[in-house]
Amino acid sequence: MTENDAKLELDGLRVDRKLDTGVIEKTIFDNLKWLTSREATEYLRLPSVGALRQLVYRRRIPFSKMGRSLRFNRRELDRFLEISTYPKRRSS
């Protein structure tokens, strides 16, 4: 490992990233296909896990159940973000 490289460790997962150039910029979410509730909350930048659970309860967000646990597919969350934008206001 050179001086420009760094290891970022989150929840036991190691992620390489270049510090100076930004060429190999990887986030923890790039390595994950399925996110837990806490990870999905951070990924969507929601204020709390409770806010995420409200979206699940209202069936506003795609999710899967694996046993008793909620899991969120990262690609489906990306699509959810793309289609959940509001149109710009018309000027009066």
Separation between Cα atoms, residue 19 and residue 51, nearest integer Å: 34
Residue 90 lies in a domain: no
Query: 76 and 56 in one domain?
Result: yes
Residue 10 lies in a domain: yes
Query: 79 and 39 in one domain?
Result: yes
Residue 89 lies in a domain: no
Residues found in the chain? 92
Q: For residue 47, with 0-12 CB atoms within 10 Å meaning exposed, 13-18 middle and 19 or more buried, which class applies?
A: exposed
Give, as one character, the DSSP assignment of residue 89. Answer: P
Please tell me the pTM assigned to this model.
Answer: 0.61
Residue 6 lies in a domain: yes
The DSSP result for 31-80, as a single string, is G-SEE-HHHHHHHHT-S-HHHHHHHHHTT-S--EEETTEEEEEHHHHHHH
pLDDT of 90: 74
Cα angle for residues 55, 48, 82 (degrees, 5° grid): 50
Task: Look up the domain containing 69 and give its range.
Answer: 35-84
What is the number of structural domains in the chain? 2
Give the pLDDT confidence of 42-88 residue by residue, as tens digits: 999 999 999 999 999 999 999 999 899 999 999 999 999 888 877 77
For residue 65, the one-letter residue type is K
Query: 60 and 41 in one domain?
Result: yes
For residue 3, the one-letter residue type is E
